[in-house]
Amino acid sequence: MKVKPVNHAKAAEEFLDDAPHLTFHDERLWDMRQKRDQQMHLLPEWQELRSRASAIKEHTL
């Protein structure tokens, strides 16, 4: 099976041009952010974990 490369910018533009997709995307993103914020308050070390993850990302890239 041969996999074709995907032009992600074009695919995203086409996806978001469809109003129901745009609405779904916005609602889902907002929902995920709210859940993340709820979890953030349950972990006292949240900011330390974020800082470490950021440092790992910087080192890797």
pLDDT tens per residue across span 17-34: 999 998 999 999 999 999
pLDDT at 47: 93
Query: For residues 13 and 16, what is the distance between their CA atoms, to the nearest angstrom?
Result: 5
Instruction: Report helix angle 19-40 to 8-17, nearest 10.
Output: 110
Closest CA to 37 of 23, 47, 27, 24: 47
* Burial (0-12, 13-18, 19+ Cβ within 10 Å), 25: middle
pLDDT at 13: 92
Written as six digits, the tokens of 47 are 């900011």
The ranges assigned to domains in the chain are 8-59
| Stated pTM of the model | 0.58
> Residue 37 — very low, low, confident or very high, per pLDDT cuts 50/70/90?
very high
